[in-house]
Chains A and B, each alone.
Chain A
Amino acid sequence: MDVCRDLLDKQVVDRNGRWLGRVDGVVLERPESEPPRLAAILIGPVALGFRLHPAIGRWMAALERTWGLPKRRPVRIGLEHIVDIGRYVKTDLSSSETDALAVEQKLRRWIARIPGGG
């Protein structure tokens, strides 16, 4: 598999088909005297920011902290939870088992309150 071509920037879906975001980054592990191997994918603006420029990444992280988002971000999904890589990157987790939709849920509380939002 080619990480850049087949994995990065693809749409990630949970086991119920819910969109979690895109593969914004990857985590590589390098065990002693072995070639590096893929350990996890990352989702979220912090991971995406760091890929573009460390300053943007730090800025996004600061933004998320001020906003009181959960500490488990950027969301890290281990390779053992990735069940398929094709049109979508599929995980066997459900969205509630990750913090991928933390922002969505935060905003949802406001949106649902406006008439016509529910």
Chain B
Amino acid sequence: MKKIFTLVLGVVTSIGGFVEAGSISTAAQAGAEFGFALLWAVAVATLILASLAEMAGRVAAVGQRTIAAAVRERFGIHFQIVPLVAELAIDLLLLMAELGGVAIAVMLLTGVGFAWWVLPVGIVVWLVLWFGNFDVIENGVGLLGIITLSFVYSAWQLAPDSHHILSGLVPALPGHHLARYGFLAISIVGATVSPYLLNFYSSGAIEEKWSESDRWINRVTSFVGMGFGGFVSMGVLISSAMVFGPQHIQVNSFVQAAQMFAPVFGPWAITVFALALGVGCFGAAVEITVNAGYVISQSLGWTWGVDKKRRDVSRFVVAYTVVLLLAIAIASMGFDPLQMTLISVALTVVLAPVVVLPFLVLMNEERYVKEHTSGPFGNGLLAVLTIVCSLMAIVVIPLQILGGG
């Protein structure tokens, strides 16, 4: 019974953790500019994320190591320094974007300028981490995230043509703006497959003391949970396509994106959007902050964990506090969260090959997964992923120049 509860909770919290500044902005832009044509990119990105999360969870449950720890141990510091620095840079940029996302949400609700909210929001993030244990971080934040289902409700109410949705799930080249289309497709993948999600997921498995027998929980949580998350992203894309598409409106800010709720929620549109955006970004901000602490501590072999007494993991606490302070300081100087999101998404794509490649090795070694190594399907998937990621890494910067504006 307890296992079932864990399972349901895991699935629900994945929905909450999935939707944040990056996935909302990329899905909204894709819907506004290309209708349903990029739905397949959301589906593919979700599948990639779910597969990688399942593998990260397997290394944690069977090998009792997080991804950062396993990569340092297996590949040594000379390799690991690249994904380590990259992940911290992406964490910092994304954290700024999420803090900005929450600040914009509060601004939409109160009317008070957004720069004023970055510091208070950052302080609340820190307080949640300081006083909360892993259950609070994972479940509290995740359960609040159910509000993001409003995107699915909105899409449902707008009654899209199911035939059009199905054809959007099949990749096809558009008749116009090829560079922009390619850029958005890659951005959706970059926004969905964030490296922080993978290490956070594997660290969570260790915090919750998963063992080898929990592999099925891992499988269900990763695939069903992330699958539902992708479902919400599709809700964003469909709502945006139905509302902005016919009027040829491009989404250039979160304030503008809020209008996608106008037909369904009427006078409550801004409030509901602000709550969904705010809660989604806040959850992500908490997860990204603690993940920065996880990655640094695990790479260097320090004791870590949010369920331990703070004074027993002082370096871990200081590590995530410093990253959070840095993000607050830079974000307070005033910036466009949407731009910050796009930069971090491009960076994620450029560095995806070094994040994916280690999985190909880890998932085939008994030291990390015992006899539960990847079969031909898992290995084939990883091989294809590595190649696709490398190709995307090469084209993302040219595409951003051609189609990013």
Q: Is the interface of B mostly helix, strand, loop or mixed?
A: helix
Tell me whether B309 and A118 are in contact (CB under 8 A): yes
Residues A112 and B301 in contact in the complex (CB < 8 Å), given A9-B73, A11-B73, A52-B81: no
Tell me whether A21 and B301 are in contact (CB under 8 A): yes
Tell me whether B314 and A52 are in contact (CB under 8 A): no
Query: Given the complex, which residues of B lie within 8 Å of A116, measured CB to CB?
Result: 130-131, 310
* Interface of chain A residues 37 through 96 with chain B (CB within 8 A): 43, 45, 48, 51-52
A28 at the interface (CB under 8 A from B): no
Query: Given the complex, which residues of A lie within 8 Å of B314, measured CB to CB?
Result: 104, 107-108, 110-111
Query: Given the complex, which residues of B lie within 8 Å of A45, measured CB to CB?
Result: 300
Kindly state the separation between the CA atoms of A110 and B315 in the bound complex, as whole angstroms: 11
B2 at the interface (CB under 8 A from A): no
Kindly state the separation between the CA atoms of A10 and B73 in the bound complex, as whole angstroms: 5
> How many whole Å from B198's CB to the nearest CB in chain A?
20
The interface bits of chain A over 9-38 (1 if a CB of B lies within 8 angstroms of the residue's CB, else 0) are 111100000111110100000000000000
Q: How large is the interface on B (under 10, 10 to 19, 20 to 34, 35 or more residues)?
A: 20 to 34
Kindly state the separation between the CA atoms of A107 and B317 in the bound complex, as whole angstroms: 9
Tell me whether B76 and A111 are in contact (CB under 8 A): no
> How many whole Å from B227's CB to the nearest CB in chain A?
34
* Interface of chain B residues 281 through 327 with chain A (CB within 8 A): 300-303, 309-312, 314-315, 317-318
Tell me whether A12 and B315 are in contact (CB under 8 A): no
Tell me whether A19 and B311 are in contact (CB under 8 A): no
Tell me whether A20 and B301 are in contact (CB under 8 A): yes
Kindly state the separation between the CA atoms of A103 and B81 in the bound complex, as whole angstroms: 21
Kindly state the separation between the CA atoms of A11 and B312 in the bound complex, as whole angstroms: 18
- B77, B302, B312: which contacts A48 (Cβ < 8 A)? B77
Query: Given the complex, which residues of A lie within 8 Å of B69, measured CB to CB?
Result: 11
The interface bits of chain B over 81-121 (1 if a CB of A lies within 8 angstroms of the residue's CB, else 0) are 10000000000000000000000000000000000000000
Tell me whether B77 and A19 are in contact (CB under 8 A): no
Tell me whether A107 and B309 are in contact (CB under 8 A): no
B372 at the interface (CB under 8 A from A): no
Residues A21 and B317 in contact in the complex (CB < 8 Å), given A52-B78, A118-B309: no
Query: Given the complex, which residues of A lie within 8 Å of B130, measured CB to CB?
Result: 114, 116-117
Query: Given the complex, which residues of B lie within 8 Å of A108, measured CB to CB?
Result: 311-312, 314
Kindly state the separation between the CA atoms of A17 and B315 in the bound complex, as whole angstroms: 18
Tell me whether A4 and B300 are in contact (CB under 8 A): no
Tell me whether A52 and B131 are in contact (CB under 8 A): no
- A8, A10, A117: which contacts B310 (Cβ < 8 A)? A117
Query: Given the complex, which residues of B lie within 8 Å of A110, measured CB to CB?
Result: 314
B72 at the interface (CB under 8 A from A): yes
> How many whole Å from B325's CB to the nearest CB in chain A?
14
- B73, B78, B80, B302: which contacts A104 (Cβ < 8 A)? B302
Kindly state the separation between the CA atoms of A117 and B309 in the bound complex, as whole angstroms: 7
Query: Given the complex, which residues of B lie within 8 Å of A8, measured CB to CB?
Result: 76
Tell me whether A11 and B301 are in contact (CB under 8 A): yes
Residues A22 and B72 in contact in the complex (CB < 8 Å), given A52-B81, A118-B309: yes
Kindly state the separation between the CA atoms of A48 and B314 in the bound complex, as whole angstroms: 21
Kindly state the separation between the CA atoms of A118 and B130 in the bound complex, as whole angstroms: 11
Kindly state the separation between the CA atoms of A116 and B306 in the bound complex, as whole angstroms: 12
Kindly state the separation between the CA atoms of A20 and B300 in the bound complex, as whole angstroms: 10
Query: Given the complex, which residues of B lie within 8 Å of A10, measured CB to CB?
Result: 73
Query: Given the complex, which residues of A lie within 8 Å of B131, measured CB to CB?
Result: 116
Kindly state the separation between the CA atoms of A52 and B301 in the bound complex, as whole angstroms: 17
- A20, A43, A111: which contacts B318 (Cβ < 8 A)? A111
Query: Given the complex, which residues of B lie within 8 Å of A11, measured CB to CB?
Result: 69, 73, 301
- B73, B78, B301, B317: which contacts A111 (Cβ < 8 A)? B317
- B311, B315, B318: which contacts A112 (Cβ < 8 A)? B311
Could you show 19 A-B contacts with beta carbons less than 8 Å apart? A4-B76, A9-B80, A18-B303, A19-B303, A21-B302, A24-B77, A45-B300, A48-B77, A51-B77, A52-B81, A104-B302, A104-B303, A104-B315, A107-B314, A108-B314, A111-B317, A112-B311, A116-B131, A118-B309
Chain A residues with a Cβ under 8 A of chain B: 4, 8-12, 18-22, 24, 43, 45, 48, 51-52, 103-104, 107-108, 110-112, 114, 116-118
Chain B residues with a Cβ under 8 A of chain A: 69, 72-73, 76-78, 80-81, 130-131, 300-303, 309-312, 314-315, 317-318
Instruction: List 8 A-B pairs, minimum CB-CB distance, nearest first.
Output: A22-B301, A107-B314, A112-B311, A117-B310, A21-B301, A111-B314, A108-B314, A111-B311
